[in-house]
Amino acid sequence: MNKIALFEKGFDETPVAPLSGDYGPNRYFIKRDDMLPFSFGGNKARKAAEFYKEIKDSPTDVVMTYGSNGSNHCRIIANMAAAMGLLCHIISPAQDKSSGGGIHSSGEGREEKVLYNTRLVAGFGAVIETCPVSMVARTIENRKKAYRTEGKVPYFITGGGHGNPGTEGYVKAYREIQKFEEKNGIYFDYIFHASGTGTTQAGLVCGKLLSGDQKRNIVGISIAREKERGRDVVKDSIREYLGADFERLYREEELVFTDAYRLGGYGQYHEGVREMIQRVMKQEGIPMDTTYVGKAFWGMCRHVEENGIKDKNILFIHTGGTPLFFDNM
C-alpha cells in the first residue's frame, strides 16, 4: 500500500481573506478550504486525510463509499484510493433529473456532457455501480460480502465522509480559525458553511464546545436535507464524537441548521444562485458552484438579510467544488 506524503505531513492552515464585495451591512471573510492541495481541495480533502490514517495501517484492499459519482466526496476518495494503490468502488444512486419552475438541476440540459467530477472519478479507475436509492444499503452489503468472499478486505466510508474521522477534520479546522483570530486580533461572530451530510458542521460545533466558546454562532446552510432530518444527523455526529462528554457540553442552541435555502434539494438551484456565483467570481476572483458553495453563499446572504444581522464579523468557509464550477458556466 502506497503512502501519501501530503497526508503524512498534514495540511498547512488554509488562508482566511476579507471579501471586497457588498454582501450586506457586515464585515465578510472567507476561509479557502478549496485551496487544500489535494485533488482540488475542499472539506472532503480534510476528511479523507483523517480516513487515510485508519486505512494506511490496515489490511485494506478496496476502499468503498457511497455518493453521486459527480460529487466532491467521490472525487476525493477515488483519488486517495488511486494514490494508495487501492481499488475504489463507488455505490451511486440513480439520479432523478426532474425539476420544475425556476429551479434547475446542476448539469441540467447537458446530459451529453459528463460532469467534471465524474470524469475525474473515472480517470482514477474507480468502479462505479449505480442502483436505486431504495437498494443502496443492500447493494453496499452485497458488495462487501462479495469482496470478502474473494479474499479481499473492504474499508467502507459513509457518504460525504460521515463519521468520527470526518468530524475530526473540522475540529482541527475550528482550531485553525481560532489561531487566525488570535494572530490577527479579530473575532468571528458568525461562521457560515454549506451543510450536506453534516460532518463539517458537526466538527465545527464540536470544536466550539470543546474550546468553551460561548459566543460564536455557527450556521449550517442546508444544500440538500430538510431541517428535521439534517439537524438530527448533525446532532448524532456530535454525540458520537464527544462520547461521554456529550451530555455535559452539548446545548441545543449550538446547532443552527437551516433548510430555508435548499431550493428543493441536492443539486437544485435558481438564477439567483447563478448570479451570486458570477458576482463573486467577478468581484473576488473566487470560483463557486451551484450544488454546494455558491448555493450556501447565496443562502448565507439571504439569512443575514432576513434575520437583520448587522455590523458583525462573518466568516464563510469555502468547502470546495472547483470542478463543479465549470459544469454550469
- pLDDT single digits (tens) 180-211: 999 999 999 999 999 998 999 999 999 999 99
Angle at which helices 164-184 and 43-56 cross, to 10°:
130
Close Cβ partners of 21 (under 8 Å, ≥ 6 residues apart): 28, 279, 280, 283, 284
- pLDDT single digits (tens) 207-249: 999 999 989 999 999 999 999 999 999 999 999 999 999 999 9
Average confidence (pLDDT) over 137-148:
96
Locus of grid cell 494572530 = 183
Q: What is the mean pLDDT of the chain?
A: 92
Distances (CA, A) of 52 to 81, 86, 132, 157: 9, 12, 29, 11
- pLDDT single digits (tens) 45-54: 999 999 999 9
- pLDDT single digits (tens) 68-123: 878 999 999 999 999 999 999 999 988 644 333 454 455 554 445 688 999 999 99
Q: What is the pLDDT of residue 224?
A: 93
Q: Is 21 helix (H, G, I), strand (E, B) or coil?
A: coil
How buried is residue 39: exposed, middle or buried, by Cβ count under 10 Å (0-12/13-18/19+)? buried
pTM of the model: 0.92
pLDDT over 50 (residue 153): yes
Q: What is the pLDDT of residue 95?
A: 64
Domains of the chain by start residue, with CATH: 5-41+163-328 (3.40.50.1100), 45-161 (3.40.50.1100)
- pLDDT single digits (tens) 268-296: 999 999 999 999 999 999 999 999 999 99
